[in-house]
Chain A
């Protein structure tokens, strides 16, 4: 209990001593500048940071990524085959036949 009273006395003495002291704006700014920032503050600062990006490059890169990953492949590349009757047999003629022939 005596300890608490002592602390409050010290505090009131300190308040009395410094009540007429005023910090200049410049000093305030310096203190702010050199104080240690919190993580949340850092993140907020980063998120609100404005960056400049080249529009054409971004659109081009996005489109390429989209084309590579997202667009369906071979959707309209349907193998062109036809079936012919040779006697009573059915023979399938397909596009890559000429490749085989050159083998």
Chain B
């Protein structure tokens, strides 16, 4: 063994050096490195702060506590729920919230002289607003009032003022703010924003704009936030566009979780069907301590209304979606946003293996439910639950989507025969294999979800919360049978070999159901560049129908085939129509056949099929055909039927337009041009972009009021804004 001779004093010097490195240099390096990586690599920075906090040494623990919690707070984004859609950035659960609170409390309790003390105090208040905890906010506001440090008292004043503002006690809020002393650049901009918010809520928009401008002049540090939200730095600009909304009607409502009102939830408004913005700039109200809100005056119009809520509140809570995508404001309106605890699934549990072809889903009763729907999720890579995902309803073994019982039985073969989600790879380079063989195959894990609805289609509950960890989501793992040779080929995306394999199989057995189904599907989708062949697909599907009597695949092809492809394969489609017996024609297939007749120009036939196949929802194309065929009274009769709905279109306006063109000289050029356009629209002669340009050209050259009104409704229906 190698030994070295060393004097004791040299050894001691070395030891002192090592201790200096361990207890001084390394902690210093940790915190400096953490600060340096803070922006670029927050996850690593977070771990370094953790290490620093636990390290036996270091004199800047308060800094580590504060900066770590700031990193967590950087994710305090709102979860936006609009009637027409949802938007979210990142999810934070209560564990993170607890950590932020604890870190900042430790600064307050253990480092009373820390320069981070005021910021830690503010972080606690922001967090309680973010999670809608009014009681804790008030408790900490009171704590701040009693402190000697002026900055703490000023923060307390601002948040007390905010609390009074959200409770619509504007005068009291103003009175509280009088005790605030300007001159602290870390707080002044918050003061001005709050003054702006109060003026805004009191509909004093000029003053609101003045204060927002003042806030911008003072400025703030990057990544700042206050009142549990990001700095609404675009609010003044939004205010300048307020004329689009400003009016006399109030929108009132409540945000509740299990019936309890949630405070500090921002309420937003946007014009309907215009997409959604993720900014915090445009709130029109904030919920009070009981969850109630009241907006500024809004003008008449169709709006999408939404809320911005802290994501921890959504963990393990179900948002009760309404069957409503917008509201029409023509007086004071009420809209509420409700969350509830999820309903329980009795079966399956998480990760239950299905060894048979059938599985049972059973759930607890939901009061007032008219029907239940069972969903699963298709993943591009179902074994690893990766790639794109699509949620789809499951048909039970009786072929029902809407289940009125508290249990349902599902057949894997039926489910795999259904058309579900698919992903088309870029540049026409194929499709995911599950689109062909189905998602319920050996090894796949399929989450199972049940939702309850009332008779109007409003969600009453669901087994899946708005945000959750997957750990306990009920799911089934398929293990019913081994994959066939052809399925293995498809799963490994060797489509060419799979096609050859199945075509050979058909030569031996022309009635092979598996071969017919998969060949039809492979040709239906563009499994490789330019390999789609709708003709072959229909041909195989007709043979499959003749053997099984099932029309699912035929319907799927008709849904997939473009108008041009349907015109091209007219003979085959006619053969299909004549082959399928009347009793096998379901609503969807009839719809597709109606569309086919539109594409080939047999408009009267198309209209009769479509009209005969409808419930209370009217398809606009039926009215367009009536107009095209100059059967104006028929169109008017249809539109005047009260129970008939025409989504996205204003029936009254359409009636007005039809009444005008009814009296028009039918030989006038303008009318003839309009009629020719209608034909192109109904028979879908043009693709989407061409059709849009076609519309614009016509619209700009039409003067007749009646035609213009009809065109406006066509624009609305197609969302050509």
Contacts and interface: CB of A to CB of B under 8 A. Distances in A.
A86 B447 contact: yes
Interface string B451-465: 100000000001011
B385 interface: yes
B711 to A, nearest CB: 34
A75 B46 CA distance: 9
A96 B377 CA distance: 21
Interface residues of B, number: 51
A75 B44 contact: yes
Given A87-B375, A90-B466, 18 more contacts: A48-B8, A48-B9, A49-B7, A53-B4, A55-B1, A56-B1, A57-B1, A66-B18, A73-B51, A78-B44, A84-B377, A84-B385, A84-B389, A87-B464, A88-B466, A89-B462, A94-B470, A100-B472
Of residues A52, A57, A93, which shows the largest number of chain B Cβ atoms within 10 Å of its Cβ?
A93
A90 B467 contact: yes
Nearest to A66: B22
Nearest to A102: B351
Nearest to A81: B469
Interface of B: 1-9, 11-12, 18, 21-22, 26, 30, 43-44, 47-48, 50-51, 56, 86, 88, 91, 319, 321, 350-351, 375, 377, 379, 385-386, 389, 391, 447, 449, 451, 462, 464-473
A41 interface: no
B4 A86 contact: no
A1 B43 CA distance: 89
30 contacts: A47-B12, A48-B7, A49-B7, A49-B8, A50-B8, A51-B6, A54-B2, A54-B3, A55-B2, A55-B4, A56-B2, A57-B1, A75-B47, A75-B51, A78-B43, A84-B379, A86-B447, A87-B375, A87-B449, A87-B462, A89-B462, A89-B465, A90-B88, A91-B473, A92-B469, A92-B470, A93-B470, A97-B469, A101-B350, A101-B351
B88 A72 contact: no
Contacts, number: 127
Interface in A55-74: 55-57, 62, 66, 69-70, 72-74
B47 A46 contact: no
A85 interface: yes
A54 B350 CA distance: 58
Contact of A52 (B3, B468, B472): B3
Interface of A: 46-57, 62, 66, 69-70, 72-76, 78, 82-94, 96-97, 100-101
Contacts of A94: 469-471
A97 B471 contact: yes
Nearest to A94: B469
Contacts of A52: 3-6
Contacts of A54: 1-3
Contacts of B472: 100
A52 B3 CA distance: 6
B86 A88 contact: yes
B22 A92 contact: no
Contacts of B468: 89, 91-92
Contacts of A74: 47, 50-51
A49 to B, nearest CB: 5
A87 B462 CA distance: 11
Contacts of B30: 72
A87 B47 contact: no
Contacts of B50: 74
Nearest to A48: B7
Contacts of A70: 21-22, 26
